[in-house]
Amino acid sequence: MRIARFVIDNDPAFGVVEGTEGNEEVAVMNGDPFYSGIQLTGVRHKLEDVRLLAPVIPRSKIVGIGRNFAEHAKELGNEVPPAPLMFLKPNTSVIGPGDPIVLPSFSEAVSFESELAVVIGRICKDVPIERVDDVIFGYTCANDLTARDVQKTDNQWARAKGFDTSCPLGPWIETELDTEDLAVRGRLDGEIKQDGSTSQMIWGVRELVAYVSQAFTLLPGDIILTGTPSGVGLISDGQRYEVEIEGIGTLSNPARR
């Protein structure tokens, strides 16, 4: 099931995206599916008539995982960490499909990172691996934008990875997905820059959710970013980056200075 958050006539709402590409509709939900479940109102809109928003604004946190693809760690001159390397992004970093990435004035080297994002569906802590599927609401595409120059000089990653608009999410949440071997691609102005698979992740989705939940109580709508394949590079004013994940769809955002 594809669950989108959208706006029409200035009123944000959730809906289920149905139909085939080019002939899709949004069946409007009543309330917030994270708390109310899936309750349809009977109202429907053509997908082309609505504006998609970020499918969720985390009420609590976004937990990123660094260097979870060996080739990506290598291309930046880093070793693979002995355990998942966690960092936080604030919810103010989130934007939706088509929204502009605003390149911060304090950086001259912002890079793109295509990632699978896990969306948490219930309050949980210390989740055993065999119970992880019970706490996942679904999955979406993410772009973990990073100010590389600031990342090198700040000694920690809060500013480099947490600036406003540094976490595009979308286009919707896919609730049923096998994440063992999904293609993860990224295109800069239509040219493929990243072409990997979730099978290349050092720690898989279940391992990451279990590990993160040891440190943090996870709340409905929290996001875990699972890492990026190799091929990261810089994005400049006027360029557009697309994150495509097999089984979900494509997230596209322009960059603005």
DSSP 38-68: --EEEEEEEGGGSEEE-S---SS-EEEEES-
Please give the Cα distance from 181 to 118 (Å, whole number).
Answer: 15
Mean pLDDT for the chain overall: 97
3-state secondary structure 156-178: CCHHHHHCCCCEEEEEEEECCCC
Letter string b/e over residues 200-217, b meaning 16 or more CB atoms within 10 A of that residue's CB: bbbbbbbebbbbbbeebe
Please give the Cα distance from 115 to 219 (Å, whole number).
Answer: 21
Task: Say if CB 217 and CB 124 are below 8 A apart.
Answer: yes
- What local confidence, expressed as pLDDT, does residue 178 receive? 98
Q: Identify any residues that bridge with 69 across adjacent strands, giving them in sequence order.
A: 201
The answer, yes or no, to whether residue 140 has pLDDT greater than 90, is yes
Please give the average per-residue pLDDT across 97-108, as a whole number: 98
- What local confidence, expressed as pLDDT, does residue 62 receive? 98
Please give the Cα distance from 224 to 209 (Å, whole number).
Answer: 7
Q: Identify any residues that bridge with 140 across adjacent strands, giving them in sequence order.
A: 117
Q: In which band, very low, low, confident or very high, does the pLDDT at 95 lie, cut at 50, 70 and 90?
A: very high
Structure tokens at 223: 């996001």
Q: In which band, very low, low, confident or very high, does the pLDDT at 42 lie, cut at 50, 70 and 90?
A: very high
Please give the average per-residue pLDDT across 126-153, as a whole number: 98
- What local confidence, expressed as pLDDT, does residue 152 receive? 95
Please give the Cα distance from 46 to 42 (Å, whole number).
Answer: 13
Please give the Cα distance from 246 to 179 (Å, whole number).
Answer: 9
- What local confidence, expressed as pLDDT, does residue 73 receive? 86
52 CB burial (10 A radius; 0-12, 13-18, 19+) = buried
Please give the average per-residue pLDDT across 150-163, as a whole number: 96
The answer, yes or no, to whether residue 142 has pLDDT greater than 90, is yes
Please give the Cα distance from 18 to 177 (Å, whole number).
Answer: 16
Q: In which band, very low, low, confident or very high, does the pLDDT at 21 lie, cut at 50, 70 and 90?
A: confident
- What local confidence, expressed as pLDDT, does residue 111 receive? 98
Q: What is the pLDDT of residues 157-207, one digit of tens each?
A: 999 999 999 999 999 999 999 999 999 999 999 999 999 999 999 999 999
Task: Say if CB 255 and CB 103 are below 8 A apart.
Answer: yes
Task: Say if CB 110 and CB 146 are below 8 A apart.
Answer: yes
Please give the average per-residue pLDDT across 105-109, as a whole number: 98
Q: What is the pLDDT of residues 52-88, one digit of tens each?
A: 999 999 989 999 999 999 999 889 888 889 999 999 9
- What local confidence, expressed as pLDDT, does residue 106 receive? 98
| CA distances from residue 198 to 22, 211, 254 in whole angstroms, order as listed | 27, 18, 25
Backbone torsions φ then ψ of 84, nearest 5 degrees:
-50, 130
- What local confidence, expressed as pLDDT, does residue 212 receive? 98
Please give the average per-residue pLDDT across 9-34, as a whole number: 94
Q: What percent of the chain has pLDDT over 90?
A: 93
The answer, yes or no, to whether residue 230 has pLDDT greater than 90, is yes
Please give the Cα distance from 16 to 29 (Å, whole number).
Answer: 7
In terms of pTM, does the model score above 0.95? yes
- What local confidence, expressed as pLDDT, does residue 10 receive? 85
Task: Say if CB 139 and CB 173 are below 8 A apart.
Answer: yes
